[in-house]
Amino acid sequence: MTPVNLLDLDREALADWFESIGEKRFRATQLFRWIHQRGECDFAQMSDLARGLRERLSGVAEVGRLPVVSEHVSADGTVKWLFDVGAGNAVETVFIPEDDRGTLCISSQAGCAVGCRFCSTGHQGFSRNLSTGEIVFQLWHAERVLRARLGTPAGQRVVTNVVMMGMGEPLQNYSALVPALRIMLDDHGQGLSRRRLTVSTSGVVPMIDRLARDCPVALAVSLHAPDDALRDHLVPLNRKYPIAELLGACARYLPAAPRDFVTIEYCMIDGVNDTDAHARALAELLRPRIACKVNLIPFNPFPASGLKRSTSERVAAFASALQQAGLVTTVRRTRGDDIDAACGQLAGEVVDRTRAAQRLAAAREQPIALPSTRRQRAGDQEFTWR
């Protein structure tokens, strides 16, 4: 009999499972606390459970752990783990320590099928979705290891914020994502605030609407362009869910959201989306449609992208233009780039089923829409080719 991985089960599902094996439902809460609050995986150590139950659990259940392939620590304290998820696949998880918080960036898929031009994961292609247990394990492991390493007192968390912003598109793995979010939010589990748990999406519109109903947490949207012509090239998913539909979903999400704004992620790529004209267009796009905060992310280069990072002066000018237009704007500080743990650099090991390398190599040969005084007209858009 294959043991049940208890990390796959939120508290309600765990209570159902207990009932199915003839045990009292309330025992699920006790077990849930041992696993998620105390980081315990040895049933023999769970002292407030009856000895007979502990012995029974050891035969039918487990706290499923992933092999740790490697751990790297950056000069700035950022930690990156590579976890083996089987069949030649591995995923990365990153912990970013700051003075007032500790943020964990979690992966949801082995690879990614979206194929954004500027993302290292997308260039690896897609193998499979992670299970709920594989998603939750990343937080379980990080919290357990960091507590021991830092000597953190029992009951005090090291990971205070979680962002579903690692490898993969979370909303394309919705059935595993939502139970994982519920485990992270549960006061008997990881106990995170909805404001401190963020799902980042490239724009899967129907799933944004579902998330608002099922488990609303903080929402971040990877926009990266102020118009459809450019975003089609940078974020291929835009061809299915164009900007107007995406911003409409964001507006519908806000009434359920724990924050009164949506975070707009915008990767700054030299000569591609970072001009003054792009800044003006972005402000005109966002201001009338949604309450938002814009987070500018200096692009983290990798060889296969063929792209360069905007200069610090250009990023500052872009931020200033947005601020002058009335948009709350921040510039993300690059962390962990010396261990390839910065935003857009996560790339574990993926057995690609999507021929991503060929598709993205072809995309590099395609023109990118840029504003210019030399213009050609195509439909309702005006653009020139680089």
Catalytically active residues, by annotation: 92, 343
**Tokens 């510039």 belong to residue:** 331
- 3-state SS class at 350: coil
Max distance between CA atoms of the chain, in angstroms, equals 79
Which candidate, 149, 167, 147, places its Cα nearest to that of 94?
167
**Six-digit token pair at 195?**
């404001």
- Do residues 312 and 268 touch, judged by C-beta distance below 8 A? no
Distance CA 57, CA 44 (A): 9
99: exposed, middle or buried (Cβ count in 10 Å: 0-12, 13-18, 19+): exposed
**Nearby residues of 257 by Cβ (< 8 Å), 6 or more positions away:** 212, 216, 217, 218, 219
**How many whole angstroms from its chain centre is CA 161?**
12
- Residue-wise burial string across 276-315, b where 16 or more C-beta atoms lie within 10 A, e elsewhere: eebbebbbebbeeebebebbbbbbbbbebbebebbeeebb
DSSP 256: G
- Do residues 171 and 208 touch, judged by C-beta distance below 8 A? yes
Distance CA 81, CA 109 (A): 15
**Six-digit token pair at 241?**
């869910």
- Do residues 97 and 75 touch, judged by C-beta distance below 8 A? no
Q: Which amino acid is at 267?
A: C
- Do residues 205 and 167 touch, judged by C-beta distance below 8 A? no
